[in-house]
């Protein structure tokens, strides 16, 4: 009963503002969206929310998890700007967070968080644009503010916020649950993001493709962990999102009605994240999550295994280290150095895997190849000792 | 208000993974101390304390000023197929396992990957890896930096490890990069270099 009263009160409160009318009837008052320049919070609830988010933003600015590479930040911002337009993108302040899981979020004060796991998973600019656009729509349509008013009507969300155990990432995850959007909001964000892809000339098919890839990764992980039912719940981003299968279908159908475009921006995307890619994949491999990582790598390769991808795959198998993995890792390292003889890390991995199998002479030779390419590497003293012929 | 008790129960749940209260015992200066199942003998200088709470069944942890400021961990006799740490309660993946066949650089990888998972942090970088002795055994020394999620602080660490009779022995020191690491590291190096390993005789019951 209290719940019902609260909902009624909430409905009344919302209808008192411009929000109630925004969906159906023409607004009575000129509506200023948060994406317009100089937007300020309107009432006490919104002001309070901004205050909290400003505080969270201060913490994130000081965080050691922040990727402060100006070039990479400028690139992600440029993708958002192409997607939603120069006039609007100024409202967003993007922060890249070094953490290998897939996630992105945008707070009502304009703070946008992009986890490095998204940069690893997007295979082209259009896929990145899909997620950035989706989060931007939540911001623009004030979905989090609506959800927050809803929560506020039921409980003291601020008290809840201050009781969160765990670190920064847990708190960001909580933002997702405070701002739990309903299905309509999610679909609205999906469809408007697709419109953005269309208006910015990106391949509209990218929207369903990134969700398809993520769905597959979670299924692979769940299968390995024998916990299929938890496949979506395990990821804070997906906990609040529509069933991925439905979403793929409606996005694909809607994309077919858009003007087709072959511009997925794959080449420039690869170039833009190239410097970071080794660190991003390294973070993923070190999660000890074999099944998901194997799926992810196959999805990136799509049959075309480059030297980098082969190296990452070999590292994954070597890290798991079952007897059959050792053989597979050796094969992948060999393919990797055959594809790119300058990839020092692959020579090192090949040397290590040969030594593990007692093939000492060849193994030491491979380690010396690594040292010739990377004489200044941090582990050169140890590898040098391992590469030395006995008795010399 | 339904959500707040949930948060409390979550804390209670996390707490259940640890002993109810870790106790600290002061160690006497310049006296031999049997460490980590008596498989190592260390001779600390003054001011060190050992905790009754252990990171795993084969390890123990010391501090001088509190774990936030300096932490010295000893692992001794980690066997094939064992992890370095007790599994964190909320972990989705198993921690990586020690293999007796591991090469020196792979021990460092085992340490790094285990800590990344325990800390839930990808801000972890190994800088130098070089040959070193642990006791009288050949092994590896490695240094690294990392950040944990709930603090805006960079920590520095240094470890020395060796495999003896197929079992892993490892000593690791961690302190904030600002001031505390540099203050204590030469003392720690001295402690590590005078450390004696007492691996059980082959064939003896463990």
- Please, what is the average pLDDT of chain A? 83
Residue of B3, B103, B126 lying closest to A386 (CB–CB): B103
Block residue for tokens 């990586």: B96
Q: Quick check: A358 contacting B, CB < 8 Å?
A: no
Q: Quick check: A319 contacting B, CB < 8 Å?
A: yes
Domains of chain A in sequence order: 41-256 (no CATH), 274-387 (1.25.40.10)
Residues of A (259-288) whose Cβ lies below 8 Å from B: 283, 286-288
Task: Evaluate if residue B185 carries a pLDDT over 60.
Answer: yes
Put simply, the answer to whether B150 touches A167 (Cβ < 8 Å) is: yes
For residue A285, give the chain B residue with the closest CA.
B113
Q: Quick check: A156 contacting B, CB < 8 Å?
A: yes
The SS3 assignment for B10 reads helix
Q: Return the CATH architecture of domain B23-197.
A: 3-Layer(aba) Sandwich (3.40)
What are the residues facing A95 on neighbouring strands?
A113
Residue of B7, B104, B147 lying closest to A386 (CB–CB): B104
Put simply, the answer to whether A382 touches B104 (Cβ < 8 Å) is: yes
pLDDT of residue A16: 29
Q: Which residues, 6+ apart, have CB-to-CB distance to A196 below 8 Å?
A: A83, A84, A129, A133, A136, A137
Measured CA distances, A155 to A6, A160, A381, B3 (Å):
10, 8, 59, 8
Domain positions in chain B: 23-197
Helices (H), B92-172: 104-119
Residue of A165, A283, A288 lying closest to B14 (CB–CB): A165
- In this prediction, residues A379-383 reach a mean pLDDT of 98
For residue B2, give the chain A residue with the closest CA.
A155
Task: Evaluate if residue A24 carries a pLDDT over 60.
Answer: no
The predicted-structure confidence for A314-330, as pLDDT tens digits, reads as follows 999 999 988 899 999 99
Block residue for tokens 């269309």: A198
pLDDT of residue A237: 54
Q: Quick check: A1 contacting B, CB < 8 Å?
A: no
Put simply, the answer to whether B122 touches A167 (Cβ < 8 Å) is: no
Torsion of CA B104, B105, B111, B117, to 10 degrees: -150
Q: Quick check: B134 contacting A, CB < 8 Å?
A: no
Residue B50 near residue B70 (C-beta atoms within 8 A): no
What are the residues facing B34 on neighbouring strands?
B41
The Cα–Cα gap between B190 and B192 comes to: 5
ipTM value, please give it.
0.87
pLDDT of residue B96: 95
Put simply, the answer to whether A289 touches B93 (Cβ < 8 Å) is: yes
pLDDT of residue A241: 57
Question: What's chain A's Rg over C-alpha atoms?
Answer: 24
Residue of B11, B149, B154 lying closest to A167 (CB–CB): B149
For residue B154, give the chain A residue with the closest CA.
A64
The Cα–Cα gap between B83 and A245 comes to: 38
Put simply, the answer to whether B106 touches A286 (Cβ < 8 Å) is: no
Put simply, the answer to whether B101 touches A356 (Cβ < 8 Å) is: yes
pLDDT of residue A78: 98
Q: How far is B183 from chain A (nearest CA, A)?
A: 23
Task: Evaluate if residue A95 carries a pLDDT over 60.
Answer: yes
pLDDT of residue A107: 87
Q: Which residue has the higher pLDDT, B76 or A216?
A: B76
Which candidate in B105, B112, B140 is best for mutational testing of the A interface (most A CBs within 10 A)? B105
For residue B149, give the chain A residue with the closest CA.
A167
The Cα–Cα gap between B141 and B15 comes to: 33
Q: What secondary structure does DSSP assign to B158-190, as a single string?
A: EEEEEEETTEEEEEEEEEETTTHHHHHHHHHHH
Please report how many Cα atoms fall inside a 13 Å half-sphere around the Cα of residue B23, on the Cβ side. 3
Phi, psi torsion values for B150, nearest 5 degrees: -95, 20
For residue B131, give the chain A residue with the closest CA.
A382
pLDDT of residue A367: 98
The Cα–Cα gap between B107 and A288 comes to: 15
Task: Evaluate if residue A131 carries a pLDDT over 50.
Answer: yes
- In this prediction, residues B37-49 reach a mean pLDDT of 94
Put simply, the answer to whether A65 touches B147 (Cβ < 8 Å) is: yes
Q: Quick check: B96 contacting A, CB < 8 Å?
A: yes
Lowest-confidence pick of A100-114, A135-149, A237-251, B11-25:
B11-25
Q: Quick check: B154 contacting A, CB < 8 Å?
A: yes
End-to-end CA distance of chain A: 84
Measured CA distances, A359 to A228, A245, A248, A365, B105 (Å):
41, 48, 49, 10, 17
pLDDT of residue A28: 41
Which candidate in A58, A163, A220 is best for mutational testing of the B interface (most B CBs within 10 A)? A163
The predicted-structure confidence for A205-257, as pLDDT tens digits, reads as follows 999 999 888 888 988 888 887 654 454 455 555 555 567 788 889 999 999 99
The Cα–Cα gap between A104 and A118 comes to: 7
Q: Quick check: B109 contacting A, CB < 8 Å?
A: yes
pLDDT of residue A68: 94
**What's the order of all strands across the beta sheet hosting A111-115?**
A93-97, A111-115, A104-106
pLDDT band at A341 (very low <50, low <70, confident <90, very high): very high
Measured CA distances, A173 to A161, A168, A180, B21, B94 (Å):
11, 9, 11, 29, 22
The predicted-structure confidence for B127-181, as pLDDT tens digits, reads as follows 999 999 999 999 999 999 999 887 789 999 999 999 999 999 999 999 999 999 9
Helices (H), chain B: 3-15, 104-119, 180-193
> What is the crossing angle of helices A244-256 and A206-225, to 10°?
160
Q: Of B115, B35, B29, B18, nearest to B64 (Cα)?
A: B29
Q: How far is B17 from chain A (nearest CA, A)?
A: 15
The Cα–Cα gap between A133 and A137 comes to: 6
pLDDT of residue A14: 31
Give me the count of residues in chain A: 392
pTM (predicted TM-score): 0.85
Phi, psi torsion values for B134, nearest 5 degrees: -120, 115
The predicted-structure confidence for B44-68, as pLDDT tens digits, reads as follows 999 999 999 999 999 999 999 999 9
Q: Is A378 exposed, middle or buried (0-12, 13-18, 19+ CB in 10 A)?
A: middle
Q: SS in 3 state form for chain A?
A: CHHHHHHHHHHHHHHHCHHHHHCCCCCCCCCCCCCCCCCCCCCHHHHHHHHHHHHHHHHHHHCCCECCCHHHHHHHHHHHHHHHCHHHHCCCEEEEECCCCCCEEECCCCEEEEEHHHHHHCCCHHHHHHHHHHHHHHHHCCHHHHHHHHHHHHCCHHHHHHCCCCCHHHHHHHHHHHCCCCHHHHHHHHHHHHHHHHHCCCCCCHHHHHHHHHHHHHHHHHHHHCCHHHCCCCCHHHHCCCCHHHHHHHHHHHHHCCCCCCCCCHHHHHHHHCCCHHHHHHHHHCCCCHHHHHHHHHHHHCCCCCHHHHHHHHHHHHHHCCHHHHHHHHHHHHHHHHHCCCCHHHHHHHHHHHHHCCCHHHHHHHHHHHHHHCCCCCCHHHHHHHHCCCCC
Residue of B7, B131, B147 lying closest to A164 (CB–CB): B7
Is the sign of the CA dihedral A171, A175, A180, A186 positive or negative? negative
For residue B169, what are its two tokens? 């022995």
Q: Which residues, 6+ apart, have CB-to-CB distance to A194 below 8 Å?
A: A130, A204, A207, A251, A254, A255, A258
Residues of A in contact with B128 (CB under 8 A): 378-379, 381
Task: Evaluate if residue B108 carries a pLDDT over 60.
Answer: yes
Q: How far is B129 from chain A (nearest CA, A)?
A: 4
Q: Quick check: B104 contacting A, CB < 8 Å?
A: yes
Q: Quick check: B203 contacting A, CB < 8 Å?
A: no
Q: Which residue has the higher pLDDT, A175 or A79?
A: A79
């Amino acid at each position: 009963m209290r719940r019902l009263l609260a909902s009624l009160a909430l409905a009344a409160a919302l209808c008192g503002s411009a929000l109630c009318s925004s969906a159906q009837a023409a607004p009575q008052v000129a509506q200023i969206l948060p994406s317009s320049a100089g937007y300020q919070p309107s009432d006490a609830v919104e002001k309070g929310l901004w205050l909290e988010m400003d505080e969270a933003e201060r913490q994130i600015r000081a965080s050691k998890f922040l990727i402060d590479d100006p070039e990479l930040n400028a690139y992600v911002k440029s993708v958002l700007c192409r997607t939603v337009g120069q006039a609007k993108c100024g409202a967003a302040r993007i922060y890249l967070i070094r953490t290998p899981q897939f996630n992105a979020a945008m707070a009502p004060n304009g703070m946008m968080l992009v986890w490095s796991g998204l940069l690893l998973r997007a295979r082209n600019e259009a896929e990145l644009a899909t997620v950035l656009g989706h989060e931007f729509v939540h911001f623009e349509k004030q979905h989090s503010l609506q959800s927050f008013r809803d929560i506020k009507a039921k409980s003291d969300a601020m008290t809840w916020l201050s009781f969160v155990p765990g670190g920064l990432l847990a708190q960001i995850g909580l933002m997702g649950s405070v701002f739990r959007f309903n299905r309509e909001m999610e679909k609205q964000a999906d469809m408007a993001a697709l419109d953005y892809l269309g208006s910015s000339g990106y391949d509209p098919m990218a929207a369903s493709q990134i969700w398809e890839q993520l769905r597959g990764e979670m299924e692979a992980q769940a299968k390995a962990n024998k916990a299929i039912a938890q496949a979506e719940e395990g990821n804070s981003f997906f906990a609040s999102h529509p069933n991925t299968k439905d979403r793929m279908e409606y996005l694909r159908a809607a994309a077919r009605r858009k003007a087709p475009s072959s511009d997925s921006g794959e080449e420039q995307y690869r170039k833009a994240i190239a410097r970071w890619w080794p660190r991003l994949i390294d973070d993923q491999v070190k999660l000890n999550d074999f099944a998901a990582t194997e799926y992810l790598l196959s999805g990136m390769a799509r049959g075309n295994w480059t030297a980098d991808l082969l190296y990452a795959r070999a590292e994954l198998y070597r890290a798991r280290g079952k007897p059959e993995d050792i053989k597979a890792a050796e094969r992948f390292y060999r393919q990797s150095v055959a594809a790119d003889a300058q990839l020092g890390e692959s020579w090192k991995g090949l040397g290590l895997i040969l030594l593990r199998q007692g093939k000492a002479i060849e193994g030491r030779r491979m380690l010396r190849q690594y040292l010739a390419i990377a004489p200044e590497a941090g582990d050169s003293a140890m590898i040098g000792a391992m590469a030395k012929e006995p008795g010399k | 208000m339904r959500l707040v008790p949930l948060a409390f129960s979550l804390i209670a749940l996390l707490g259940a993974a640890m002993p109810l209260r870790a106790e600290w015992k002061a160690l006497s200066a310049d006296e031999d101390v049997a460490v980590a199942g008596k498989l190592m003998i260390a001779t600390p200088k003054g001011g060190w304390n050992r905790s009754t709470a252990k990171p795993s069944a084969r390890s123990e942890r010391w501090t001088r000023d509190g774990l936030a400021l300096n932490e010295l961990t000893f692992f001794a006799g980690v066997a094939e197929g064992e992890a370095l740490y007790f599994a964190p309660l909320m972990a989705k993946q198993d921690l990586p396992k020690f293999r007796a066949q591991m090469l020196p650089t792979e021990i460092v990888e085992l340490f790094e990957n285990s800590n990344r998972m325990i800390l839930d942090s990808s801000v972890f970088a190994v800088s130098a890896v070089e040959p070193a002795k642990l006791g009288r055994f050949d092994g590896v020394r490695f240094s690294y930096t990392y950040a944990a999620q709930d603090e805006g602080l960079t920590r520095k660490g240094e470890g020395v490890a060796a495999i003896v009779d197929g079992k892993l022995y490892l000593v690791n020191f961690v302190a904030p990069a600002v001031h505390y690491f540099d203050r204590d590291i030469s003392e720690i190096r001295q402690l590590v270099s005078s450390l004696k390993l007492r691996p059980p005789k082959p064939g003896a019951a463990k």
